[in-house]
Amino acid sequence: MTVFRFNLPPVAAYQREAIFCEERAAIIEATTKAGKTVGCLWWQLREAGMCPAPASEHWWIAPIYDQTRIAYRRMVRLLMTVDPSKRSWDTNKQELSVTLGGRAVIRYRSGDDPDSLYGEDVYSAVIDEASRCKEDAWFAVRSTLTATRGRLRIIGNVKGRKNWAYHLARRVESGGLPGWRYAKITAYDAVKAGILDAEEVEQARRELPEAVFNELYLGIPTEDGSNPFGIAHINRCVRPGLSGLEPEWFGVDLAKSHDWTVVIGLDSNGDVAYFDRWQGVPWPETTARVLRAVGQKRAYVDSTGVGDAVVDELRRTAPWIEGYKFTQTSKQQLMEGLATSIQGGTIGYPDGPIRSELESFEYQFTRTGGVRYTAPEGMHDDCVCALALADMRRRHSNVGVMIRVGGEQVRDQAKSGRIRREVVSAWDDDTFR
């Protein structure tokens, strides 16, 4: 048997208390970038190295394969720092496994197919991103630890209250499961330990919707699960119907596949004054209907994919229409702006499809730690996107800009009713965006 020794690097006091505790099982609700993953990597390395069995299995479980692969790569990098010559360890990239001393094997596995997790005897396990793992994966992993009385660490960000990890954490926290440890790690714990920068956390607080920041950085679950707007805020912005005033700013989300084309116009108060949507209409008819709705008003139109050609066609007749291309980053910015308007009560909409889509809309954490905004699988977010585009058009039009009128520079709020495009002799359109 090969004898091997690793000198683990110092860990923060909160990591030691939460992860390296004596309890056989622990569930740790930890915020983003607070050191939960690296702490558990070192913990499992210690467990594998100290395991007395001549050949032992140790598992790291993540919701999907890509996240599992990230943990595997991080473990390899950590091992390279303590034993770069690989005298005491080896890897199998195809199987995503690390072998220590030729006897203990740490395998990095996906929880996407829980049935594939049964049958093995496992001596230690980490369930990563538990709030997004399937509950059946937890059941399977627990069964693999039975014969060995293996040790367990469950870690993850808080993601609402409607998942097994949240409910298990509450049972442990209340003392209902003997032999378990509950811990909560926030961004401010990491700031105090020098792992995170305080100003970076404060900047995130300013930039992100309250619900997103609370879950990502404070570990506070929202009553609304992962809704970025907040159900109470959504309800407060519901109006009896269309405003009855003239719409001033428009947002248009173009249909893809089975989706809807949605046109929403906001009046000068930020309330929905125009709403229409349709499916299965040829692009020429869609173009004509959008032009009839928007008229001479300014609009943002989804230019993603085939929308790029549609926007080009629209601009031949209505050059004041502008395209907005959806990427993960641009959609995040768009939805965070809409969340600010909804939570601030500066926008209003009628009950019906708009409200329904807002209530079902959610954010998801990506494998890189970012935030992805989307409708749940099988549902639509076309109304949400059109409303967000109209709201951004409204907010951009209310920004003070420098324009040139008759050769003289003046400052104006550039609201549609104050200075109209057709009476301006020279126009720098870029300053209007």
pLDDT digits (tens, 9 = 90+) for 291-310: 999 999 999 999 998 888 99
Mean of pLDDT values over 245-258: 91
Q: Tell me how far apart the alpha carbons of residues 408 and 344 are, in angstroms, rounded to a whole number.
A: 36
pLDDT band at 167 (very low <50, low <70, confident <90, very high): confident
Partnered with residue 405 across adjacent β-strands are 408
Write down the domain spans for the chain.
13-218, 231-397, 401-432
What is the predicted pLDDT for the residue at 305? 86
pLDDT band with cut points at 50, 70 and 90 for residue 431 = very low
More confident: 211 or 12: 12
pLDDT digits (tens, 9 = 90+) for 390-399: 999 999 886 5
pLDDT band per the 50, 70, 90 thresholds, residue 265: very high
Q: What pLDDT does residue 18 have?
A: 95
**CA-to-CA distance for 203 and 136, rounded, in angstroms?**
38
> pTM higher than 0.85, yes or no?
no
Tell me how crowded residue 376 is: count the other CB atoms within 10 A of its CB.
Answer: 12
> What does the pLDDT read at residue 365?
65
The answer to which of 224-228, 277-281, 298-302 has the lowest mean pLDDT is 224-228
64: confidence class by pLDDT, cuts 50, 70, 90: very high
For the chain, give the percent of residues with pLDDT over 90: 60
Residue with tokens 């009628």: 350
What local confidence, expressed as pLDDT, does residue 223 receive? 61
Sheet holding 321-324, edge to edge: 272-278, 261-266, 249-253, 298-302, 321-324
Confidence (pLDDT) at 369: 58
Question: Residue 429: pLDDT band by 50, 70, 90 thresholds?
Answer: very low
- Cα distances from 232 to residues 142, 280, 374, in angstroms, run 38, 34, 20
Burial 108-141 (b: 16+ CB within 10 A, else e): bbbbbebeebeeeebbbbbbbbbbbbeeebbebb
pLDDT confidence tier of residue 155, bands split at 50, 70 and 90: very high
Q: How far is CA 223 from its chain centroid? A: 17
Which pLDDT score, from 0 to 100, does residue 224 have? 56
Confidence check: pLDDT of 160 > 80: no
On the question of pLDDT at 342 being above 50, the answer is yes
What mean pLDDT is predicted for residues 257-283? 93
Pick the CATH number of 13-218 from 3.30.1280.10, 3.30.360.10, 3.40.50.2000, 3.40.50.300: 3.40.50.300
Distance CA 233, CA 30 (A): 27
Q: What is the mean pLDDT of residues 345-358?
A: 91
pLDDT tens, position by position, 104-121: 999 999 999 999 999 899
Other beta carbons within 10 Å of 331: 20
Q: Is the pLDDT of residue 149 over 50?
A: yes
pLDDT of 428 above 80: no
- Domain 231-397: assigned CATH number: 3.30.420.240
- For residue 418, pLDDT beyond 90: no
Could you tell me how far CA 162 lies from the centroid of its own chain? Answer: 16
Q: Is the pLDDT of residue 7 over 80?
A: no
Residue 372's pLDDT band (cuts 50, 70, 90): confident
CB-CB contact of 347 with 266 (8 Å) = yes
Mean pLDDT of 188-193: 92
Strand partners, 299: 250, 321
